Structure 1
Amino acid sequence: MNGIINILKPPGMTSHNVVSFLRRLSSMRRIGHTGTLDPGAAGVLPVCLGQATRVSEYVLHMDKVYRAELTLGKSTDTEDASGTMVAEQAVPVLNKQEITKVLSSFVGQQTQIPPMYSAVKVGGKKLYELARQGGEVDRKAREIHVYSMKLLQVDKQKITFDVACSRGTYVRTLCREIAEKLGTVGHMSFLLRTGVGPFLLQDSFTLEELSALGQKESLSAVLLSADTALGHLPAISLSHQQAGRVANGNTISLDTVDLSEGSLVRIYAEKQQFLAVGRIKEGRLKPEKVFNKD
């Protein structure tokens, strides 16, 4: 069984726990998620099974979409609801226009310093391990991109908004910074991931739904093919002879190459069978990851 399952992770469960659940359900060992979603958060978690685990790195780099709730007036050491309150401050009277203006100011390319309570490694240790020991270290700012922010609701001291952003963006840090721009403190009180690249919330399956499927029929009913994660890459279809050479890991020449040097591509054999991920190198097609038939 090879493919990707778009799972709706519930809050209070780690991404690793989801993988363990699927291993028990499918009796498979070769399973992996495509990027950690914090235990307190819910939402889209694509999980790869079998040969599809080899495309997980491509999903990891995809853009994300979240729905976040920001609670104003109280900040925590973790920047979310799981932490200990470290500051409390009055909340000024705000209107939707002011909030929308502040949200819009975060759209674009920018740098962000990862929070101490994160899995980023410094000196071989995860930051949250150092934070739990009471330490704090200098963290290197990272480039992120916020593509859009949309205000959805304002309810007293709670603000709900949608944000589309690049990989590696900490929404709880955005929440803290938004609160500061609004003249107070705050923390992220809830997070729902609604999209990871082509994997959307409305197409996801709960663990309860998967359990029912596992009892009644094969999980293959909800499996997406590995190339679902590669729709952003250009596709190349090969002849039977060319496909045979690529399947054996050989670099081949192409009649015409309209792609730039170094481009990653999806490679298909006859009848649109997904065959490999390859790269254009010196005008030729070099397979990087070949997928065998199921």
Structure 2
Amino acid sequence: MTFRQPQRDRLHGVLLVDKPPAWTSHDVVAKVRRLSGERRIGHTGTLDPNATGLLVLCLGRATRLAEFMTALPKTYEGEIALGVRTDTDDADGNVLEERPVPAFDEARLRELEEAFTGELLQRPPAYSAVKVDGERSYALARRGEAVELPPRLVTVYELRLRRIAPDRLGIRVRCSAGCYVRALARDIGEALGCGAHLASLARTEVGVFRLSQAHTLDQLAAASAEGRLPELILPPDEGVASYEAAIVTPSRAWRLAHGELIGPSPRPWRPSELARLYDTRGEFIGMGRVLETGHIRPLKVIAETG
């Protein structure tokens, strides 16, 4: 039994897109489907319509890895407008309340950075994709129904705040999947006693990927017209490069590719740790999970067998 990597002309891999404002993440996916002819495309973390920046797309067999990329930490930069609360916690919403912005100094910003770093219980915005009894929260909110979502545990790995105007803060945050920067802006405003909303937002990093690597929609359209779009597709395993790698013998690679447990692994792993799986030739097999016994269970297989 041999392995063969997915054919390049079938566009299996990862595509980095610089999402423009006023486009939904779904709009971008639909556009890339038209440009590429590939139907199996998904993104790895929604950006709000007026947010910009890095949108990581999975194409073809790489869609099997979307859940692992979605779980990666993400970095955002933006601005917080102080003294104004909105029903969406961003600039698109209706104003609920206006309050004067109190005096505060740099020391207070450092206190806020410390208070909002680490594991936090965060209440998602009412206008969000969180489901309530099977329905999206934003759909309920648009109908005027009261929505009070329960807080969820999120992690803020790094937070930087700076005063850029009397009523405005610059924010840079690296956070876990599921963290709403809109909610973070809202809560920072409440901590200052004046309320706030997120005025602008750009995603700059997802895992190992940076916004500087991304392509605009115009660039993608030009590449498609010139037949160069496949050149912009990154190998599937680059999307999960943040995870540790496990290299296995050909016989074990065959077993993994057919859904069998292997191991135990000779190297120490944390129980439940995720791993990128490769054979000794360096070919990517897929993703697996290390069990408490040290055995590796395949989760998603990318390599084709033949």
Q: Please report the TM-score for the alignment, with normalisation by the length of structure 1.
A: 0.93
Question: In 2, distance between residues paired with 1:261 and 1:102?
Answer: 34
Partner of 2:206: 196
Aligned runs of 1:120-269 on 2, under 5 Å? 120-253=130-263, 256-269=266-279
Q: In structure 2, do the counterparts of structure 1 residues 90 and 29 end up closer, same or farther at CA, with 3 Å as the change threshold?
A: same
Question: In 1, distance between residues paired with 2:194 and 2:181?
Answer: 17
Partner of 1:41: 51
Partner of 2:81: 71
Question: In 2, distance between residues paired with 1:79 and 1:198?
Answer: 29
Q: In structure 2, do the counterparts of structure 1 residues 73 and 288 end up closer, same or farther at CA, with 3 Å as the change threshold?
A: closer
- Long gaps (5+) in structure 2: 1-10
Give the 3-state SS of the residue equivalent to 2:177 in structure 1.
coil
Question: In 1, distance between residues paired with 2:271 and 2:105?
Answer: 51
Aligned runs of 1:23-34 on 2, under 5 Å? 23-34=33-44
Among 282, 287, 292, which residue is 2:298 paired with? 287
Question: In 1, distance between residues paired with 2:40 and 2:102?
Answer: 52
Partner of 2:8: none
Deviation string 1:88-107 (CA, Å, 9 cap, x unpaired) is: 12222343343333333211
Question: In 2, distance between residues paired with 1:264 and 1:107?
Answer: 25
Q: Which moved more, 1:278-287 or 1:7-16?
A: 278-287
Q: In structure 2, do the counterparts of structure 1 residues 3 and 185 end up closer, same or farther at CA, with 3 Å as the change threshold?
A: same
Partner of 1:103: 113
Contact in 2 for aligned 1:10/1:43 (Cα 8 Å): yes
Question: In 2, distance between residues paired with 1:111 and 1:263?
Answer: 24
Partner of 1:273: 283
List structure 1 segments (4+ residues) > 4 angstroms apart after TM superposition: none
Question: In 1, distance between residues paired with 2:130 and 2:273?
Answer: 29
Letter in 1 for 2:176: S
Q: Please report the TM-score for the alignment, with normalisation by the length of structure 2.
A: 0.89
Matched, 1:87 2:97: yes
Contact in 2 for aligned 1:10/1:42 (Cα 8 Å): yes
Give the 3-state SS of the residue equivalent to 1:252 in structure 2.
coil
Deviation string 1:65-94 (CA, Å, 9 cap, x unpaired) is: 111211112221111010111111222234
Q: Which moved more, 1:78-87 or 1:261-270?
A: 261-270
Question: In 1, distance between residues paired with 2:296 and 2:196?
Answer: 51
Partner of 1:117: 127
Question: In 2, distance between residues paired with 1:78 and 1:225?
Answer: 37
Question: In 2, distance between residues paired with 1:284 and 1:101?
Answer: 44
Q: In structure 2, do the counterparts of structure 1 residues 88 and 283 end up closer, same or farther at CA, with 3 Å as the change threshold?
A: closer
Alpha-carbon RMSD across the aligned residues, in angstroms, is: 2.0
- The aligned length equals 294
Contact in 1 for aligned 2:262/2:296 (Cα 8 Å): yes
Deviation at 1:276, TM superposition (A): 2.1
Deviation string 1:215-260 (CA, Å, 9 cap, x unpaired) is: 2233221212211222232222223333233333333345735324
Letter in 2 for 1:149: L
Contact in 1 for aligned 2:25/2:43 (Cα 8 Å): yes
Question: In 2, distance between residues paired with 1:140 and 1:66?
Answer: 24
Contact in 1 for aligned 2:265/2:296 (Cα 8 Å): no
Question: In 2, distance between residues paired with 1:286 and 1:148?
Answer: 33
Deviation at 1:278, TM superposition (A): 2.1
